[in-house]
Structures are given as structure tokens and as C-alpha cells.
Amino acid sequence: MGAGHAHQLYRHGHSPVHDLPPHCKLAAVFAFVIVVVSTPREAVWAFGLYALLLAAVAAAARVPAGYLVRRLLIEVPFVAFAVLMPFVAEGERVHVLGLSLSVSGLWGAWNVLAKGTLGVAASVLLASTTELRALLLGLQRLKLPPLLVQIASFMIRYGDVVSDELRRMSVARRSRGFEARGVRHWGVLAKTAGALFIRSYERGERVYLAMVSRGYAGSMPVIDEVSASRAQWAYAAALPVTALAVCLMGWTL
């Protein structure tokens, strides 16, 4: 299985984090996120320690702080939602700078921001140190349903193809003097979306028939077999195990 497309988040490097097998990193990030989500929101200090753990991983992977912060902008919609929570939530209220804020809303906003930011940061670090093809191989190694892995592989492989098709359709519209201005042009844009769907569907049918003619029987051949040593698993487990210790302290204190 292959997907020779490089994604923009990946930073080429030869750090210890880059060299870890992809399934080790996937398992470590998933376990870390589970631990973060399970941490009580009142243990504010614990989230600070989680941030320090991710900072240590970023340093080991040689991922600049500015690069990581820029990629965290993807969570802006969640930030906007969290900012609104203290104003719309019910219950006990406190006054801050002349504003009446809900106590439960403040805790909810903190919960969303802290856990969401840590989860996104961990995902960005994973994407920054692992190529897309390696991620797919890691998912396959972790026994994710093969059909889901194949769907993800084709999404990656043909995403650029569909985007180019949409770009050519847009150029064709503009070359004929069309510019979307207002509601009256939504019909044209809807027809464009329909045409793009039909072309993509037909392309998928042709690709599937080509695969069947070459012996495809429901599963893709495994070209590269990835494996991990005990030392690599132990190195990857350092992040979630340390986070788990912090989480247990948060529940007991």
C-alpha cells in the first residue's frame, strides 16, 4: 500500500521521534489523549505538566515552537465556542471586569481549551514527525479495519486530483465571464458541485475496474512490513505512562 503524497505538516528530520515506528507513535498519542481527557478539570497543574511533556517531545523531535503554535490555529472554532460558554451557561455567577460569568461555564471553557489544545498539539507533533504513507502503514499494523485504511489511502492519493478538477472547472467558468455574486449564482455553484461529484464517482468506478483487472480481491498487498523493538515501544510509551502518573495524582489530590 502506498501513498506517495507528502503533507504540509510533515517536517523532514532524523530525530529519535522521527525514527520511531509509526504504530508506536500512533498508540502513544492515542493513549496520551485518553489520559488527558480523563484528567479532572480541577487539576489545573496537571495540564501544565502535560504541556511540558509535549514541549519535551517537540524539543526531541526538533519541531520549532513557532511552527507548532501556527498549526494550533486550527482549533480557533473551538476557542470561539469556549469563549461563549461563560456567558450562556447557567448556574452560579461571578463578576469579572464588570461581566457576569457562569462558574460552570468558566470551568467548561477551561476544560475545552486545555484538553482540546493538548490533543491538537499531540496530533500536530505526530503529523510533523510521520509521513502520510507511514501513518497508513501504522494504522494497518495496529489492525485497523483494512477497508478503512484503504479508504484513507485513496482519499490521500486522489484528494489532489479532485482539487485540480475543481480548479479547472473554476478556470473554465471564469474564462466565460462568470463571477459568483450573490444568491442568484448559487444555482451555478450547485451544478458545479454536482458535476464534480459525478466526475469523481466515475473516476472511482474506472479505478476500481482497473484494480479488479489486476487481481484486486478486497485487500491491498503489504509491500513494506513495519516492526518495532521493545526499546522502541518503551521509548514511545514514556509519554503516555508519564501522563498517566500525572493523571492519577490529579485524581488523588
pLDDT per residue rounded down to tens, the chain (253 residues): 444 455 677 888 889 999 999 999 999 999 999 999 999 989 999 999 999 999 999 999 999 988 888 888 888 888 888 888 888 778 788 877 777 888 888 888 899 999 999 999 999 999 999 988 888 888 888 888 888 888 888 888 888 888 888 888 888 888 887 777 777 777 888 888 898 899 889 988 998 899 889 888 777 766 667 788 899 999 999 999 999 999 988 888 7
Q: What is the pLDDT of residue 2?
A: 44
Alpha-carbon span 246 to 143, nearest angstrom? 29
Q: What is the pLDDT of residue 222?
A: 65
Q: Which residues pair with 95 in a beta bridge?
A: 100
Q: What is the pLDDT of residue 3?
A: 43
Q: What is the pLDDT of residue 150?
A: 85
Q: What is the pLDDT of residue 79?
A: 83
For 157, the enclosing helix (H) or strand (E) is: helix 146-175
Task: Supply the pTM of this predicted model.
Answer: 0.80
**Under 8 Å between Cβ of 109 and 86:** yes
Alpha-carbon span 20 to 130, nearest angstrom? 9
Position 52: which residue type? L
Tracing cell 507528502 back to the chain, one arrives at 6
Q: What is the pLDDT of residue 117?
A: 93
